[in-house]
Amino acid sequence: MPDAQLIAQISSLTGLPGVADKAEAVREACTRLRFHEALRRRIPEAAAESRVRGAAASAELGGAQLPVDTVRELISGARPWPENPDPGVADVRAAVQATAESERVVGLVRTAPLQALARLHVAGFGQVIDAAALGRPRVGDETCEEFADAGPAPSADIVVARLAGLTGLVRAAATGQVPGLIVASLVHAEIVAVRPFVYGNGIVARAMERALVQATGLDPTGVAVPEMGHLSQRTHVYGGALAGYAQGSAEGVTLWLVHAADAMLAGVAEGMRICDSVRAGRLPR
């Protein structure tokens, strides 16, 4: 269990300008989503569509873009994946596979967050990077060139310490004393700031956020689409907010938490649109 001091430190973030109001607005929006009429009997259908849209948005945030309809066809098997995909399509496939795995680690993420993190990386990038670098933090002089706007990736020895802190952060959610939004948002940003893997940190961070949004009970149905919420505010805004967090200042952390809350509100709105489509029978099959 995390100590009381850590819980107090994390909880104090709700005192940053605008954060408490945003967190409450997100909680209320998620409650409305949870009780949408379509979710009385058709949660799996709505959650599956959320993962389609989430994977497409996550890939696009990383610079790889395919239409949502194409991603849906690839996931369903209606369209085969290319045998030798170009890097963009390979990253879309990684986003699809990591987003799918996020559902399977929901029961694990709060008790063994580093194991969940490893599973997301292996699921997403098993066909992209060397097996020796899969699912484990960078070691030695290994580095990462992703998210350059957030500054140089920390050295491998710093990664170990920061991941230990991330474990405490996630376990704080189990106490019920820290808003799920704060935990999921901070974990997302911390993975990007630390960049524990040689490649694929953005997709893994977004999949981890999705898993925590569900595991903390913020959106237990898994129908909200936080990835699309981040994308809706434009990629440069998302990247700028993450860079602000990586600077470590109160202003930078505030910028990220407010952005993440707005993204979650937009993601819940997308979840409501999914539910409306499910109820009306308009989802493609």
Per-residue pLDDT tens, the chain, 285 aa: give them.
455 666 777 778 878 888 999 999 999 999 999 999 999 999 999 999 999 999 999 999 999 999 999 999 999 999 999 988 899 999 999 999 999 999 999 999 989 999 999 999 999 999 889 999 999 999 999 999 999 999 999 999 999 999 998 888 888 777 777 788 999 999 999 999 999 999 999 999 999 999 999 999 999 999 999 999 999 988 789 999 999 999 989 999 999 999 999 999 999 999 999 999 999 988 876
Q: What is the pLDDT of residue 284?
A: 72
Number of neighbouring beta carbons within 10 Å of residue 121 = 29
Structure tokens at 203: 């997709």
Q: Where are the domains of the chain?
A: 4-280
What's the pTM value of the predicted model, to 2 decimals? 0.95
Is domain 4-280 in CATH 1.10.3290.10, yes or no? yes
Q: What is the pLDDT of residue 178?
A: 79
Q: What is the pLDDT of residue 1?
A: 46
